[in-house]
Chains A and B, each alone.
Chain A
Amino acid sequence: MDLTFTDAEDGFRAEARSWLEANVPAKPLPSGDTAEGFARHLDWERSLFEARWSVVSWPERYGGRDASLWEWLVFEEEYSRVGAPQRVTQNGIFLLAPTVFEFGTPEQQDRILPRMAAAEDLWCQGWSEPDAGSDLAGIKSRAVRDEAAGGWRVTGQKTWTTRGAFCTHLFGLFRTDPDAERHRGMSYLLIPLKAEGVTVRGVGRLDGDEGFAEVFFEDVFVPDADVLGGVNEGWGVAMATTSSERGLTLRSPGRFTAACDRLVDLCHRQGAVASDPRLRDDVAQAWMDAEAYRLFTLRDITDMVEGRSLGARSSLNKVWWSELDVRLHEAALELLGPLAELDGDAPAAIDGGAWMKGYQFSLSGPIYAGTNEIQRNVIAERLLGLPRK
């Protein structure tokens, strides 16, 4: 066991830190889940790409740095530490990309990945449907074979599509064999949102941003070249994506350790409140929970580097980070007391209202990426071996 970074990794950290400190916008950008904010975030994404920081762990030929998983972790720590903007490209680079690396043909990789890295194509996720949320295998949107045209014709509806109103492309699951057992007849399709027959409607979220969208498909043509993985093998491909979503690639520990550092700073700024033993306990507990997540992921990465599969363990990660994020923000709201409710526009708001905004976002964590009830079922059935029925 060695819990220290190498000199080379420290050098990588110093390089990342100095670039981020020089380039991160001094004033926080408006939320990336609004039309105006999304455009500002794209400028940021493109400057990240130009300096080759947008996808550090990818091969150089796709715009990355061939960084190791440890270096990726270091970059994520530094990124969160300086409070750099949210990654509006995350569903592409953190969720779709690992799946393209694993299942994509060389032609698909060469076509999709460079444009994703450069934030030219912006990907959103098409999983949930009005009648298929936790029961993802219950999706009904259909893709019917069009042999003459060499592809599929898609009809149906996806919903709760994050930043769907601002993105250019969607990846999702569609039923390609209506007669097969329900986990077997699905395929993983890649669809440009400007394709004929696609309609996108934004939906306002609890936190006030227009971050959600409904996406309607009416006889939309998808060529064979845009099926990722085999036809009717979409469930297995999608499970690879959900493993990334639940696990550490979407929510690296730096995000929470940095939030805890800011919580500690808030605790000091709130002065006398810092002497309340219960609030001190809550802050300490949040700090410990974030540190536990960091240490847990060090073990995850060790296992990945040494070729041991994480499997269903990503469900443990997902419950932990999502619930610690809620508790962390609850502690912050208690420190703020009567000022906690203030919106970012309020002159008296502390930290631009970021804690209430963050609290509202944290409450989505136990819901998205598979509800925590589903994760607990996975933990019980696949890690503890309890019977499914």
Chain B
Amino acid sequence: MRFAFTDDQLLFRDTVRDLLDKECQPEHVRFAWVDGDGRLPQLWQSLGEMGVLGVQAPDAHGGLGLSELDLVLLLEETGRAGLPDPIVETAAVAVPLLAEVAPPELQAAWLPGLVGGGSLVTTQLGGPLVACADTADLVLAVRAEQVVAVPRAALRLERQPSVDGSRRLFRVDWQDDDAVVLAAGSVAADSRDRAHDRGAVATAAQLLGLGARMLDMTVDYVQERRQFGVPIGSFQAVKHHLADAMLQLEFARPVVYAAAWALATGDPDASRAASHAKAAASDAARFVGRQALQCHGAIGYTVEYDLHLYLKRAWALSATWGDAAFHRRRVAEFVLGPPDLPDRPSRSEEIHHG
């Protein structure tokens, strides 16, 4: 038993944090709000060169051949920085899914570009909407119980603006003839479920990072801001808001890391762990965001101040790849068995087909 990361994993995390500290500052996130495609292409290229995008890709296609456990801390950093690009869909979901189900020639055609940052694959696996479908080369989706890949040229796109202006969401449609079938039957169902678990844990990791970012900003702010002649951070009411925020975050953190370990090792309880992770991180990030806003007061309720960038991302991510309610019910199904309601479809059917 050892619940800690290796020195190599921590060093990789620090390297990615340094890059993001320089290249993904609040003004970069603000640029993504107003820029046409909402992406930071140079940074994406750097993440590719650093190996982040290909952590889970096979060596043969330029990847590192590592696992969810090696990726989870890096995703947390991308959350902390508010990285607008769809790294969950790409590095955490599409890469391992393609490596699992795509035939060798398609892997050879798609993975190297994806891993290097030159091309982009997004997914319609975390909910009905697709992030960055307008700039992606390929969309992975499930239709008629098949896992399919659809090239961008075949997509009809309808933009769906998000509360988070740096997200580029679309409803997508395509003709079945234009899609490449990657998997069908039980293989498709298994890989869809595994992809959903991976997306949930990866998004949970980003939510941890977002929560930490908002908590850090607020801890700094309440020490600078003075009222009644003293820093507001000396007031017990403010201290307890932030202590509560830290509690939620610190007890979500080991759940997310353990879920990454469970996915990486093929643990039989991995799906339960993934749902626990996403439920806990979604609730925690939303809660930390509320405390952060309250402790900032009116300045936090402006778009000039940076807090809203991370707050809105946290709202968006807490609801995608299954929200806390969905995942809590899924945990309940693992722990208690199915509910006693024969006329009602299960939530996991709802999210994939609804």
Contact = CB atoms under 8 A, between A and B. Distances in A.
Interface of A: 1-6, 9, 70, 264, 267-268, 272, 274-275, 277, 280-281, 283-285, 287-289, 291-293, 295-296, 298-299, 301-303, 306, 316, 319-320, 373, 375-377, 379-381, 383-389
A284 B4 CA distance: 27
Contact of A288 (B215, B261, B328): B328
30 contacts: A2-B2, A3-B3, A264-B335, A274-B339, A274-B340, A275-B341, A280-B339, A281-B328, A283-B335, A284-B331, A284-B332, A287-B331, A288-B255, A288-B280, A295-B3, A296-B254, A299-B4, A301-B1, A301-B3, A302-B1, A302-B2, A319-B243, A377-B243, A380-B240, A380-B242, A384-B243, A386-B219, A386-B222, A386-B233, A387-B233
Contacts of B239: 376-377, 380-381, 384, 386
B328 A299 contact: no
Contacts of B136: none
Contacts of A375: 243
A293 B251 contact: yes
A2 B233 CA distance: 39
A383 B219 CA distance: 11
Contacts of A379: 243, 246-247
Contacts of B251: 289, 292-293, 296, 316, 320
Given A280-B329, A296-B250, A386-B239, A1 B255 contact: no
Residue among B222, B250, B332, B337 with the highest chain A CB neighbour number at 10 A: B332
A284 B326 CA distance: 12
A289 B338 CA distance: 21
B252 A292 contact: yes
A275 B339 contact: yes
A298 B238 CA distance: 30
Given A274-B340, A293-B251, 16 more contacts: A3-B3, A9-B1, A264-B336, A275-B340, A275-B341, A280-B329, A280-B336, A284-B329, A301-B3, A303-B4, A380-B243, A381-B239, A386-B233, A386-B234, A387-B230, A387-B233
Contact of B254 (A6, A299, A389): A299
The 3 A-B pairs with the shortest beta carbon distances in the complex, nearest first, are A380-B239, A275-B340, A284-B332
Contacts of A373: 236, 240
A215 B252 CA distance: 42
Given A292-B252, A383-B246, A386-B234, A283 B257 contact: no
A381 B236 CA distance: 10
Nearest to B264: A1
Contacts of B276: 288, 291-292
B329 A319 contact: no
B279 interface: yes
A95 to B, nearest CB: 23
Contacts of A274: 336, 339-340
Interface string B308-342: 00000000000000000100110110011101110
B69 interface: yes
Contact of A298 (B5, B242, B254, B328): B254
A319 B233 CA distance: 20
A375 B244 CA distance: 11
Interface string B7-20: 00000000000000
Contacts of B279: 288
Contacts of A388: 234
B13 to A, nearest CB: 13
A289 B252 CA distance: 9
A5 B1 contact: yes
B230 A389 contact: yes
A8 B239 CA distance: 45
Nearest to A292: B251
B1 A70 contact: yes
A302 B2 CA distance: 6
Contacts of B335: 264, 283-284, 287
B65 interface: no
Given A5-B1, A387-B223, A316 B331 contact: no
Indicate the member of A285, A375, A380 with the most B CB atoms within 10 Å.
A380
A272 B254 CA distance: 34
